């Protein structure tokens, strides 16, 4: 939290490399606008992550449902991105490779099939 | 002293995650759409650095803050848990665009609503603890 605060408030150059054009178009079709310069924003879309949206079905599913899956999945798989994808893979752990494959199965299904449905709830 | 050391590593983590934009919801969308090298570059460099650091730690004994030898335990061979838990995690990762560490960084940026996601993730971890004996591992 402190690192995030310092980086955002004191180490912010206001520039960043651009998000790819393909992603920008795909997100526009889901009514989410990608800011010109994500380095100067809060890195999360204001179309979704607000207190008001916690009271809408799609906002609730994304924030509360998504949070629940992260917590449950991390404990079940025995690690998260840093524990499995980075530390586990770099220590050549087979269970970590399997977990990373799982991360991508879930992530690809969500991004390509479920998110368009959830955002239209 | 120990707390200070741990805190400094945490602060560095928050800064690196912010400056690399690995905490960006948009970057995670881009990653799962295979539209950019950005996230793969970050993770790839982290894994390569990790391999080198693991080898250095194994090549000669390194001691921690309390003078204990730092060693690495192998991950338990629970492949069902890895694939099933991993898939649930991936579903959540693509929705929130953040994994557990970055949630705290985003909260530190001043995104107060992220606290709801953090609390929900803690509740998810709690539910795993309750259901643990009934789940395949």
Query: pLDDT for B12-67, tens place per residue?
Result: 999 999 989 999 999 999 999 999 999 999 999 999 999 999 999 889 888 887 88
Q: Which of residues 95-114 of A touch B (CB under 8 A)?
A: 95-96, 98-112, 114
Token pair for residue B35?
Answer: 């539209």
Q: Are residues A17 and A73 in the same domain?
A: no
For the ranges A79-83, A98-102, B36-40, B115-119, the lowest mean pLDDT is seen at: A79-83
Q: Are residues A75 and A106 in the same domain?
A: yes
Domain extents in chain B:
2-134
B127: chain A residues, CB-CB within 8 Å: 68, 71-72
CB nearest A2 (choices: B14, B83, B99): B14
Name the band, by pLDDT with cuts 50, 70 and 90, for residue A15.
low
Q: Are residues A111 and A58 in the same domain?
A: yes
Q: Are residues A84 and A26 in the same domain?
A: no
Q: Which of residues 22-51 of A touch B (CB under 8 A)?
A: 22-23, 26-27, 34, 38-39, 42-45, 48-51
Q: Which domain holds residue A92?
A: 48-121
How far apart CA A66 and CA A27 sit, in angstroms, is: 18
pTM greater than 0.90 (yes/no): yes
**What does the pLDDT look like over B52-108, one tens digit per residue?**
999 998 898 888 878 888 888 899 899 999 999 999 999 999 999 998 899 999 999
Q: Does B92 contact A70 at a Cβ distance shorter than 8 Å?
A: yes
| Interface test mutation site (partner A, options B80, B84, B90, max chain A beta carbons within 10 A) | B90
Q: Are residues A34 and A53 in the same domain?
A: no
Q: Are residues A76 and A58 in the same domain?
A: yes
User: Cα A102 to chain center, whole Å?
Assistant: 16
Number of domains, chain A: 2
How far apart CA B107 and CA A72 sit, in angstroms, is: 20
Q: Are residues A31 and A60 in the same domain?
A: no
């Amino acid at each position: 939290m402190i690192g995030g605060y310092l980086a955002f408030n004191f180490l912010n150059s206001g520039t960043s490399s651009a998000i790819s054009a393909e992603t920008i178009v795909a997100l526009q079709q889901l009514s989410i606008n990608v800011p010109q310069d994500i380095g100067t924003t809060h890195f999360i879309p204001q179309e979704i992550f607000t207190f008001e949206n916690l009271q809408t079905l799609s906002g609730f599913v994304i924030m509360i449902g998504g949070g629940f899956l992260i917590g449950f999945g991390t404990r079940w798989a025995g690690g998260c991105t840093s524990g499995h994808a980075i530390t586990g893979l770099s220590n050549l752990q087979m269970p970590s490779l399997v977990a990373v494959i799982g991360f991508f199965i879930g992530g690809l299904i969500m991004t390509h099939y479920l998110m368009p449905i959830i955002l239209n709830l | 002293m120990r707390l200070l050391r741990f805190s400094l590593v945490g602060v560095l983590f928050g800064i690196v995650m912010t400056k690399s934009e690995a905490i960006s919801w948009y970057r995670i969308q881009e990653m799962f759409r295979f539209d950019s090298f950005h996230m793969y570059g970050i993770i790839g460099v982290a894994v390569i650095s990790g391999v080198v650091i693991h080898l250095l730690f194994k090549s000669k004994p390194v001691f921690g803050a309390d003078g204990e030898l730092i060693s690495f335990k192998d991950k338990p061979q629970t492949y069902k848990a890895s694939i099933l838990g991993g898939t649930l995690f991936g579903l959540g990762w693509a929705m929130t665009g953040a994994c557990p560490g970055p949630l705290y960084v985003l909260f530190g940026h001043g995104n107060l609503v992220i606290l709801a996601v953090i609390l929900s993730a803690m509740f998810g971890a709690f539910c795993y603890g309750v259901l643990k004996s009934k789940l395949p591992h």
